[in-house]
Amino acid sequence: MKKLSILVGSVLLVIIFLPACAPEPAPPTEAVTNVEADIEALKAIPSQWEAAYHANDLDAVMQDYAQDAVRMPPNEAIEEGKEAIRNSHQAFFAEYTSDGAIEVVDVQVSGDLGYVRGTYKGTSTPKAGGDPIKSDNKFVAVFRRQTDGSWKSICEIFNDNPPSE
């Protein structure tokens, strides 16, 4: 009986102290994200869009859209896919020049998804002449992190604010 209690006691000591002798677990292989850097990257995209629009630079505008992006402009059909979005921007650039300012109101990131919410006030001037069109809009753009770490718009919606008096 004495041998059995020594054996049980030894086994219990091994069970208790064995984890302390185990090697450190390997660090996680997933990349650790820097939320502040992601927020800053997303905040910069609307300013890039603004500059590209003012320059009528279609390629610069399109660089921030994912292939499967969806855009929902006011009072128009949904634009599904990067090519449909390109065609819409191209048609706008053929008819108008624009000037205005985007204000980012909110940016949030959760993992590989993020959104930017903001406002746009500007003027679109017909190239063929005519009265400029004033814009006072609000928007939300949803972004997905790409495998290279960049952010691409996957869904965008915008509409007009009510006229101010």
Q: What does each of the 165 residues of the chain score in pLDDT, given as a tens digit?
A: 555 444 444 444 444 444 455 555 555 444 556 899 999 999 999 999 999 989 999 999 999 999 999 999 999 999 999 999 999 999 999 999 999 999 999 999 999 999 999 999 999 999 999 999 999 999 999 999 999 999 999 999 999 988 876
- Strands, E assignment, 29-78: 65-72
Cβ partners under 8 Å of residue 20, min gap 6 = none
Partners of 99 in the β-ladder: 123
For the question of whether the overall pTM of this predicted structure is more than 0.85, the answer is no
Report the half-sphere exposure of 38 (CA within 13 A, side-chain side): 21
Report which DSSP code applies to 148: T
The CATH fold assigned to 34-160 is: Nuclear Transport Factor 2; Chain: A, (3.10.450)
